[in-house]
Structure 1
Amino acid sequence: MDLVRHLECFVVVAEESHFGRAAARLGMAQPPLSQRIQRLERELGVRLFERSSRRVAITKAGTLLLDEARELLSRSEALMATARRIRDGESGLLRAALPPDIAGETVAAILAEFRDRLPGVELELRELSTAQQLVQFSVRELDVGLVQHPCDISGLELGPVLRREVGVLLPRGAPAAELDEVSLAALSGYDLILFPRTNAPALHDDILITCAGNGFTPATVRHGEGATFIRGLLLSVHAVAFGPRDTHLALAADQDPDLAWRPLTDAPLDWRHSVARPTGRGDTAVSVFTEAATHALRNAAPVTAAVPRPLHLRPTAEYWL
Structure 2
Amino acid sequence: MLELRHLRTLIALQETGSVSLAAERVFLTQSALSHQLKQLEAYYQQPLFERKSQPLRFTLAGERLLTLAHELLGRVAAAERDVARIREGEAGELRVAVECHTCFDWLMPAMDSYRQHWPAVELDIVSGFHADPVSLLLTQRADLAIVSEVEAQAGIVHQPLFAYEMVGIVARDHPLADKKVWQAADFAGETLIQYPVPDDMLDLWRKVLLPAGVNPPRRSSELTVAIIQLVASRRGVAALPYWAVRPYLEKGYVVARTIGDEGLRSELYAAVRSEDAPLAFMQDFLATVRERSFATLPGLTVLAG
- TM-score tier (shorter): 0.5 to 0.7
Does structure 2 conserve the Cα–Cα contact (< 8 Å) formed by 1:182 and 1:263? yes
User: Aligned equivalents of 1:89 and 1:133: distance in 2?
Assistant: 27
1:224-244: CA deviation from partner (whole Å, max 9, x where unpaired): 221233234324564111111
User: Aligned equivalents of 1:211 and 1:146: distance in 2?
Assistant: 23
Q: 1:191 to 1:298 in 2, by over 3 A?
A: same
Counterpart pick for 1:223 among 220, 224, 228: 220
Which position in structure 2 is the counterpart of 1:241? Answer: 238
Aligned residue identity for 1:252: P
1:64-94: CA deviation from partner (whole Å, max 9, x where unpaired): xxxxxxxxxxxxxxxxxxxx95993631432
Which position in structure 2 is the counterpart of 1:4? Answer: none
Q: Identity of counterpart residues, as a percentage?
A: 20
Does structure 2 conserve the Cα–Cα contact (< 8 Å) formed by 1:147 and 1:275? yes
Q: Does 1:251 align with 2:246?
A: yes
1:149 match: secondary structure: coil
1:124-273 alignment, distance < 5 Å:
124-126=124-126, 129=129, 131-149=131-149, 151=151, 153-160=153-160, 162-198=162-198, 202-204=200-202, 207-212=204-209, 217-236=214-233, 238-247=235-244, 250-273=245-268
1:34-73 alignment, distance < 5 Å:
none
Does structure 1 conserve the Cα–Cα contact (< 8 Å) formed by 2:184 and 2:214? no
Does structure 1 conserve the Cα–Cα contact (< 8 Å) formed by 2:150 and 2:269? no
User: Aligned equivalents of 1:270 and 1:93: distance in 2?
Assistant: 32
Counterpart pick for 2:274 among 270, 276, 279: 279
Does structure 2 conserve the Cα–Cα contact (< 8 Å) formed by 1:165 and 1:245? yes
User: Aligned equivalents of 2:151 and 2:192: distance in 1?
Assistant: 22
Q: 1:93 to 1:161 in 2, by over 3 A?
A: closer
- What is the Cα deviation at residue 284 of structure 1? 1.5
Q: 1:304 to 1:87 in 2, by over 3 A?
A: closer
Aligned residue identity for 2:286: T
- What is the Cα deviation at residue 156 of structure 1? 1.3
Which position in structure 1 is the counterpart of 2:288? Answer: 292
- What is the Cα deviation at residue 301 of structure 1? 3.5
| TM-score of the superposed pair, with normalisation by structure 2 | 0.61
- What is the Cα deviation at residue 166 of structure 1? 0.9
Aligned residue identity for 1:298: F
Q: 1:109 to 1:228 in 2, by over 3 A?
A: closer
Does structure 2 conserve the Cα–Cα contact (< 8 Å) formed by 1:188 and 1:215? no
1:237-292: CA deviation from partner (whole Å, max 9, x where unpaired): 64111111111xx1232244432222324245322111111121121121111111
Number of residue pairs matched by the alignment: 219
Does structure 2 conserve the Cα–Cα contact (< 8 Å) formed by 1:90 and 1:284? no
Does structure 2 conserve the Cα–Cα contact (< 8 Å) formed by 1:166 and 1:267? no
User: Aligned equivalents of 1:156 and 1:128: distance in 2?
Assistant: 22
- What is the Cα deviation at residue 159 of structure 1? 0.7
User: Aligned equivalents of 1:291 and 1:124: distance in 2?
Assistant: 17
Which position in structure 2 is the counterpart of 1:102? Answer: 103
User: Aligned equivalents of 1:196 and 1:298: distance in 2?
Assistant: 27
1:3-52: CA deviation from partner (whole Å, max 9, x where unpaired): xxxxxxxxxxxxxxxxxxxxxxxxxxxxxxxxxxxxxxxxxxxxxxxxxx
| TM-score of the superposed pair, with normalisation by structure 1 | 0.58
2:140 match: secondary structure: coil
Where does structure 2 lack aligned partners over 5 or more consecutive residues? 1-83
User: Aligned equivalents of 2:152 and 2:217: distance in 1?
Assistant: 27
Q: 1:122 to 1:160 in 2, by over 3 A?
A: same
User: Aligned equivalents of 1:177 and 1:103: distance in 2?
Assistant: 29
Aligned residue identity for 1:111: M
Greater gyration radius: 1
User: Aligned equivalents of 1:287 and 1:161: distance in 2?
Assistant: 12
User: Aligned equivalents of 1:197 and 1:243: distance in 2?
Assistant: 13
Does structure 2 conserve the Cα–Cα contact (< 8 Å) formed by 1:172 and 1:259? yes
User: Aligned equivalents of 1:224 and 1:177: distance in 2?
Assistant: 22
User: Aligned equivalents of 2:213 and 2:301: distance in 1?
Assistant: 22
Aligned residue identity for 2:267: R
- What is the Cα deviation at residue 302 of structure 1? 1.2
